[in-house]
Chains A and B, each alone.
Chain A
Amino acid sequence: MKKQRIDYGSLKSKIGNVEVTTGAVLESTGSTSKTKTGAWRSLRPLVDDKKCIGCGRCWTYCPEGCVHKKAEKVFQVDYDYCKGCGICANECPVKAITMVMEEK
Protein backbone atom coordinates (compact mmCIF):
# COMPACT_ATOMS: atom_id res chain seq x y z
CA MET A 1 0.00 0.00 0.00
CA LYS A 2 1.55 3.23 -1.18
CA LYS A 3 0.90 6.16 1.12
CA GLN A 4 1.30 9.58 -0.32
CA ARG A 5 1.59 13.12 0.94
CA ILE A 6 -1.50 15.23 0.76
CA ASP A 7 -1.25 18.18 -1.61
CA TYR A 8 -3.47 20.60 0.27
CA GLY A 9 -3.28 23.17 -2.51
CA SER A 10 -5.01 20.78 -4.91
CA LEU A 11 -7.86 20.22 -2.44
CA LYS A 12 -8.83 23.88 -2.25
CA SER A 13 -11.72 25.35 -4.14
CA LYS A 14 -13.64 28.57 -3.91
CA ILE A 15 -17.39 29.01 -3.83
CA GLY A 16 -18.01 32.74 -4.03
CA ASN A 17 -15.49 34.21 -1.62
CA VAL A 18 -15.36 31.21 0.66
CA GLU A 19 -12.47 28.78 0.37
CA VAL A 20 -13.13 25.14 1.23
CA THR A 21 -11.27 21.83 0.87
CA THR A 22 -12.45 18.46 -0.44
CA GLY A 23 -14.34 16.74 2.34
CA ALA A 24 -13.43 19.63 4.69
CA VAL A 25 -10.00 18.11 5.30
CA LEU A 26 -7.78 20.42 7.39
CA GLU A 27 -4.01 20.32 7.60
CA SER A 28 -2.80 20.09 11.17
CA THR A 29 -1.19 23.34 12.27
CA GLY A 30 -0.37 22.07 15.75
CA SER A 31 -3.01 24.44 17.11
CA THR A 32 -3.67 22.19 20.11
CA SER A 33 -0.21 22.90 21.54
CA LYS A 34 -0.29 26.58 20.57
CA THR A 35 -3.52 27.28 22.38
CA LYS A 36 -2.64 27.70 26.05
CA THR A 37 -5.90 26.58 27.57
CA GLY A 38 -4.56 27.37 31.06
CA ALA A 39 -5.87 30.90 30.53
CA TRP A 40 -9.44 29.56 30.74
CA ARG A 41 -8.94 28.51 34.36
CA SER A 42 -10.72 30.16 37.29
CA LEU A 43 -9.71 27.55 39.91
CA ARG A 44 -6.16 26.28 40.24
CA PRO A 45 -5.23 22.87 41.70
CA LEU A 46 -2.67 23.20 44.47
CA VAL A 47 -0.83 20.05 45.51
CA ASP A 48 0.31 19.68 49.12
CA ASP A 49 3.55 17.72 48.69
CA LYS A 50 3.49 16.68 52.36
CA LYS A 51 0.16 14.89 51.96
CA CYS A 52 0.82 13.47 48.45
CA ILE A 53 1.51 9.72 48.47
CA GLY A 54 2.43 9.61 44.76
CA CYS A 55 -0.37 7.19 43.83
CA GLY A 56 -0.82 8.82 40.41
CA ARG A 57 -4.60 8.96 40.38
CA CYS A 58 -4.54 12.64 39.34
CA TRP A 59 -2.28 11.63 36.43
CA THR A 60 -4.69 8.83 35.43
CA TYR A 61 -7.87 10.85 35.72
CA CYS A 62 -6.84 14.21 34.24
CA PRO A 63 -9.07 14.51 31.10
CA GLU A 64 -6.62 16.92 29.45
CA GLY A 65 -3.50 14.87 30.04
CA CYS A 66 -1.82 17.79 31.76
CA VAL A 67 -0.63 16.10 34.92
CA HIS A 68 2.86 14.91 34.02
CA LYS A 69 4.84 12.12 35.60
CA LYS A 70 8.22 13.56 36.44
CA ALA A 71 9.76 10.63 38.25
CA GLU A 72 8.61 7.54 40.16
CA LYS A 73 5.80 8.77 42.44
CA VAL A 74 6.38 12.41 41.44
CA PHE A 75 3.64 14.24 39.51
CA GLN A 76 3.34 17.82 38.38
CA VAL A 77 0.45 19.89 37.05
CA ASP A 78 1.07 21.67 33.75
CA TYR A 79 -0.49 25.08 34.37
CA ASP A 80 -0.10 26.09 30.70
CA TYR A 81 -2.92 23.73 29.78
CA CYS A 82 -4.81 22.86 33.01
CA LYS A 83 -8.38 24.20 32.65
CA GLY A 84 -9.06 23.83 36.37
CA CYS A 85 -11.81 21.24 36.14
CA GLY A 86 -11.03 19.86 39.59
CA ILE A 87 -11.31 16.18 38.76
CA CYS A 88 -7.83 15.55 40.22
CA ALA A 89 -8.84 17.15 43.52
CA ASN A 90 -12.01 15.06 43.58
CA GLU A 91 -10.16 11.80 42.88
CA CYS A 92 -7.21 12.34 45.23
CA PRO A 93 -7.56 9.64 47.96
CA VAL A 94 -5.64 11.67 50.58
CA LYS A 95 -7.13 15.11 49.78
CA ALA A 96 -3.69 16.46 48.90
CA ILE A 97 -5.12 18.67 46.11
CA THR A 98 -7.18 21.75 46.83
CA MET A 99 -8.76 24.06 44.29
CA VAL A 100 -7.95 27.68 44.98
CA MET A 101 -9.23 30.82 43.31
CA GLU A 102 -7.05 31.99 40.40
CA GLU A 103 -5.85 35.51 40.81
CA LYS A 104 -6.08 37.37 37.50
Chain B
Amino acid sequence: MKEIRLHGRGGQGAVTAASILAVAGFADGKFTQAFPTFGVERRGAPVTAFVRIDDKFIRRRDEVYNPDILLVLDSSLFKVVDVTGGAKKGALVIINTTGKPEDYKLPGFDVKCIDATKEAFAVLGRDIVNTAMLGAFAAYTGLVRKDAIHGAVKEQFSSDLADKNIKLVDQVYEKAKN
Protein backbone atom coordinates (compact mmCIF):
# COMPACT_ATOMS: atom_id res chain seq x y z
CA MET B 1 0.00 0.00 0.00
CA LYS B 2 1.20 3.50 -0.84
CA GLU B 3 0.10 6.28 1.48
CA ILE B 4 0.08 9.86 0.27
CA ARG B 5 -0.42 13.02 2.27
CA LEU B 6 -1.28 16.30 0.59
CA HIS B 7 -0.55 19.62 2.26
CA GLY B 8 -2.14 22.79 0.99
CA ARG B 9 -3.99 25.89 1.97
CA GLY B 10 -7.75 26.30 1.87
CA GLY B 11 -8.69 27.24 -1.69
CA GLN B 12 -5.73 25.60 -3.45
CA GLY B 13 -7.70 22.44 -4.06
CA ALA B 14 -5.82 19.87 -1.98
CA VAL B 15 -9.03 18.03 -1.14
CA THR B 16 -10.13 18.01 -4.78
CA ALA B 17 -6.66 16.83 -5.80
CA ALA B 18 -6.97 13.90 -3.41
CA SER B 19 -10.33 12.87 -4.86
CA ILE B 20 -9.08 13.24 -8.46
CA LEU B 21 -6.11 11.06 -7.57
CA ALA B 22 -8.44 8.45 -6.06
CA VAL B 23 -10.68 8.39 -9.13
CA ALA B 24 -7.65 8.23 -11.45
CA GLY B 25 -6.05 5.42 -9.46
CA PHE B 26 -9.26 3.41 -9.54
CA ALA B 27 -9.58 3.93 -13.29
CA ASP B 28 -6.02 2.62 -13.53
CA GLY B 29 -7.14 -0.67 -11.98
CA LYS B 30 -5.99 0.00 -8.45
CA PHE B 31 -7.94 0.37 -5.23
CA THR B 32 -7.92 3.85 -3.77
CA GLN B 33 -9.25 5.76 -0.82
CA ALA B 34 -9.20 9.54 -0.40
CA PHE B 35 -10.38 11.80 2.39
CA PRO B 36 -9.57 15.18 3.88
CA THR B 37 -8.87 16.07 7.48
CA PHE B 38 -12.16 17.43 8.50
CA GLY B 39 -11.82 20.83 9.96
CA VAL B 40 -13.65 24.07 9.86
CA GLU B 41 -12.76 25.15 6.34
CA ARG B 42 -11.59 28.63 5.52
CA ARG B 43 -9.47 30.10 2.78
CA GLY B 44 -5.75 30.17 3.45
CA ALA B 45 -5.77 27.84 6.45
CA PRO B 46 -3.48 24.80 6.30
CA VAL B 47 -5.37 21.82 4.87
CA THR B 48 -4.37 18.18 4.82
CA ALA B 49 -5.82 15.41 2.67
CA PHE B 50 -4.95 11.74 2.35
CA VAL B 51 -4.86 9.14 -0.40
CA ARG B 52 -4.17 5.43 -0.14
CA ILE B 53 -3.43 3.27 -3.18
CA ASP B 54 -3.35 -0.52 -2.98
CA ASP B 55 -4.06 -3.63 -5.03
CA LYS B 56 -6.98 -4.67 -2.81
CA PHE B 57 -9.92 -2.86 -1.19
CA ILE B 58 -8.67 -0.53 1.54
CA ARG B 59 -10.44 -1.21 4.80
CA ARG B 60 -8.55 0.84 7.35
CA ARG B 61 -10.07 4.21 8.17
CA ASP B 62 -7.42 5.90 10.28
CA GLU B 63 -5.58 8.98 9.08
CA VAL B 64 -2.24 8.67 7.26
CA TYR B 65 0.55 9.00 9.81
CA ASN B 66 3.48 7.50 7.89
CA PRO B 67 3.19 8.63 4.29
CA ASP B 68 5.33 7.26 1.45
CA ILE B 69 4.72 10.37 -0.62
CA LEU B 70 4.12 14.00 0.33
CA LEU B 71 2.56 16.46 -2.07
CA VAL B 72 3.15 20.01 -0.85
CA LEU B 73 0.99 22.55 -2.70
CA ASP B 74 2.41 25.54 -0.84
CA SER B 75 6.04 25.69 0.27
CA SER B 76 5.30 28.31 2.95
CA LEU B 77 3.62 25.53 4.92
CA PHE B 78 7.06 24.28 6.01
CA LYS B 79 7.14 27.23 8.38
CA VAL B 80 3.66 26.51 9.77
CA VAL B 81 3.21 22.76 10.04
CA ASP B 82 5.45 19.72 10.41
CA VAL B 83 5.07 18.71 6.78
CA THR B 84 7.38 15.69 6.89
CA GLY B 85 6.21 14.56 10.35
CA GLY B 86 5.95 10.76 10.52
CA ALA B 87 6.93 10.32 6.87
CA LYS B 88 8.71 7.09 5.99
CA LYS B 89 12.47 7.14 5.51
CA GLY B 90 13.26 7.97 1.90
CA ALA B 91 9.76 9.29 1.31
CA LEU B 92 9.20 11.26 -1.88
CA VAL B 93 8.48 14.93 -1.17
CA ILE B 94 7.07 16.92 -4.11
CA ILE B 95 7.08 20.65 -3.42
CA ASN B 96 5.48 23.49 -5.36
CA THR B 97 8.30 26.06 -5.23
CA THR B 98 10.64 28.24 -7.22
CA GLY B 99 13.45 26.87 -5.06
CA LYS B 100 15.68 23.82 -5.32
CA PRO B 101 15.63 20.57 -3.27
CA GLU B 102 18.76 21.57 -1.35
CA ASP B 103 17.00 24.74 -0.10
CA TYR B 104 14.70 22.64 2.04
CA LYS B 105 17.37 20.72 3.95
CA LEU B 106 15.39 17.49 4.21
CA PRO B 107 18.03 14.76 4.59
CA GLY B 108 16.72 11.23 4.18
CA PHE B 109 13.94 12.32 1.82
CA ASP B 110 13.77 12.29 -1.96
CA VAL B 111 12.85 15.92 -2.63
CA LYS B 112 11.49 17.10 -6.01
CA CYS B 113 10.74 20.73 -6.79
CA ILE B 114 8.34 22.09 -9.39
CA ASP B 115 7.05 25.60 -9.98
CA ALA B 116 3.38 24.70 -10.27
CA THR B 117 2.17 28.21 -9.43
CA LYS B 118 3.85 29.63 -12.52
CA GLU B 119 2.34 26.97 -14.77
CA ALA B 120 -1.11 27.37 -13.20
CA PHE B 121 -1.02 31.13 -13.78
CA ALA B 122 0.05 30.60 -17.36
CA VAL B 123 -2.78 28.17 -18.16
CA LEU B 124 -5.61 28.94 -15.74
CA GLY B 125 -4.77 32.54 -14.99
CA ARG B 126 -4.98 31.88 -11.27
CA ASP B 127 -3.02 30.10 -8.57
CA ILE B 128 -5.07 26.93 -8.11
CA VAL B 129 -2.27 24.41 -8.32
CA ASN B 130 -3.93 21.08 -7.51
CA THR B 131 -4.11 19.66 -11.02
CA ALA B 132 -0.65 20.97 -11.83
CA MET B 133 0.70 19.06 -8.84
CA LEU B 134 -1.04 15.91 -10.03
CA GLY B 135 0.90 16.21 -13.30
CA ALA B 136 4.06 16.29 -11.24
CA PHE B 137 2.81 13.38 -9.14
CA ALA B 138 2.25 11.23 -12.23
CA ALA B 139 5.67 12.12 -13.60
CA TYR B 140 7.66 11.53 -10.42
CA THR B 141 5.86 8.47 -9.03
CA GLY B 142 4.50 6.58 -12.03
CA LEU B 143 1.82 5.30 -9.61
CA VAL B 144 -1.00 6.70 -11.71
CA ARG B 145 -0.95 7.12 -15.48
CA LYS B 146 -1.29 10.60 -16.89
CA ASP B 147 -4.27 9.49 -19.02
CA ALA B 148 -6.09 8.31 -15.91
CA ILE B 149 -5.63 11.74 -14.38
CA HIS B 150 -7.05 13.27 -17.57
CA GLY B 151 -10.14 11.11 -17.19
CA ALA B 152 -10.59 11.99 -13.53
CA VAL B 153 -10.17 15.71 -14.29
CA LYS B 154 -12.91 15.40 -16.93
CA GLU B 155 -15.21 13.86 -14.32
CA GLN B 156 -14.48 16.62 -11.84
CA PHE B 157 -14.78 19.77 -13.96
CA SER B 158 -17.06 21.12 -16.66
CA SER B 159 -15.69 20.66 -20.17
CA ASP B 160 -14.09 24.08 -20.60
CA LEU B 161 -12.34 24.01 -17.25
CA ALA B 162 -11.44 20.36 -17.73
CA ASP B 163 -9.64 21.11 -21.02
CA LYS B 164 -7.54 23.81 -19.39
CA ASN B 165 -6.69 21.60 -16.44
CA ILE B 166 -5.72 18.72 -18.72
CA LYS B 167 -3.39 21.07 -20.59
CA LEU B 168 -1.93 22.10 -17.26
CA VAL B 169 -1.41 18.49 -16.17
CA ASP B 170 0.42 17.80 -19.45
CA GLN B 171 2.66 20.85 -19.21
CA VAL B 172 3.76 20.13 -15.68
CA TYR B 173 4.14 16.43 -16.46
CA GLU B 174 6.52 17.21 -19.33
CA LYS B 175 8.43 19.70 -17.22
CA ALA B 176 8.84 17.22 -14.38
CA LYS B 177 9.92 14.46 -16.75
CA ASN B 178 12.77 16.58 -18.09
The answer on direct contact between A and B (beta carbons under 8 Å) is: no
Interface residues in chain B, defined as those with a beta carbon under 8 Å from any beta carbon in chain A = none
Interface residues in chain A, defined as those with a beta carbon under 8 Å from any beta carbon in chain B = none
